[in-house]
């Protein structure tokens, strides 16, 4: 599907699902501003995006510093001449037993997964409403929909992200569509070591009717669809990409 001529912001762009989303959007014809803390990783990503004939703006930034987010959106709008799409893919997790979680653990996870995502939605949404429309896709999680083995702050923050997506979808309709995607267990560099242990790999496969671990491309292709005109009648949804886990 084509999104030629559009401009997108993608956070968490340097690795994993976020990186795959950048590449998928570029392949569909979108110019992308990638946001991540690692300037070196963004430079490598720029070469891949430009290799398929699209423009790339590297934005080294920590999205948890929310006061800088309106300026980030303005920077991208000036660079691209428009802002059509926002994808909040930045995320973090603290793996700890519920009895061991500290206030700092909780705040660290919510600062990125929910707080930063909302305030970037706010800044981008304001620009999109002014310009006449746009699409926002937030990367939530299966853990924000049902109980899994994920940590409490991670699960709660992703549930918050899914719900704020629904609320904003209603508030900003019909100009701006807002959806969330909820990946199940998807292999990335952050969780490969965990997934590759026989016990954990078996646990995931036992709970996944499709019989495999997800790949970042499984998520990225849905994000591209939701960001495109082909999804013009879809808003306020949290669509799970979990290999059938939640259907059981």
How confident is the model over 154-167, as pLDDT tens digits? 999 999 999 999 99
C-alpha closest to that of 245 among 203, 215, 217: 203
**Residue 122 is assigned to a structural domain of this protein:** yes
Quote the pTM value: 0.96
**Residue 2 is assigned to a structural domain of this protein:** no
Total domain count, the chain: 1
**Residue 204 is assigned to a structural domain of this protein:** yes
**Residue 248 is assigned to a structural domain of this protein:** no
- Which of the residues 154, 185, 203, 233 is marked catalytic? 154
Does residue 143 surpass a pLDDT of 70? yes
What's the whole-number mean pLDDT along residues 8-20?
98
So what's the pLDDT on residue 207? 95
**Residue 1 is assigned to a structural domain of this protein:** no
Q: What range does the domain containing 36 cover?
A: 7-241
CATH code where residue 190 lies:
3.40.50.720
So what's the pLDDT on residue 1? 66
Q: Is 154 a catalytic residue?
A: yes
């Amino acid at each position: 599907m084509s999104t030629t001529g559009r401009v997108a912001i993608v956070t968490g762009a340097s690795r994993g699902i976020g990186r795959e989303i950048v590449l998928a959007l570029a392949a569909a014809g979108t110019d992308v501003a990638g946001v991540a803390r690692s300037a070196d990783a963004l430079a490598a990503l720029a070469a891949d995006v430009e290799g398929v004939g699209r423009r790339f703006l590297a934005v080294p930034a920590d999205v948890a510093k929310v006061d800088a987010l309106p300026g980030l959106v303005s920077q991208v709008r000036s660079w691209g001449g428009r802002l059509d799409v926002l994808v909040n893919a930045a995320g973090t997790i603290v793996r700890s037993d519920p009895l061991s979680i500290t206030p700092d653990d909780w705040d660290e996870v919510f600062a990125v997964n929910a707080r930063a995502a909302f305030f970037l939605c706010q800044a981008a949404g304001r620009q999109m409403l002014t310009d006449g429309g746009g699409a926002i896709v937030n990367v939530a999680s299966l853990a924000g929909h049902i109980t899994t083995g994920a940590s409490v702050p991670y699960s709660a923050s992703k549930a918050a992200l899914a719900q704020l997506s629904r609320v904003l979808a209603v508030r900003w309709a019909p100009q701006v569509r807002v959806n969330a995607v909820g990946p199940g267990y998807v292999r990335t560099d952050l969780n490969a070591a965990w997934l590759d242990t026989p016990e954990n790999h078996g646990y995931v496969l036992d709970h996944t009717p499709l019989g495999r671990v997800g790949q970042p491309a499984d998520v990225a292709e849905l994000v591209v669809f939701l960001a495109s005109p082909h999804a013009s009648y879809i808003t306020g949804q949290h669509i799970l990409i979990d290999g059938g886990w939640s259907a059981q």
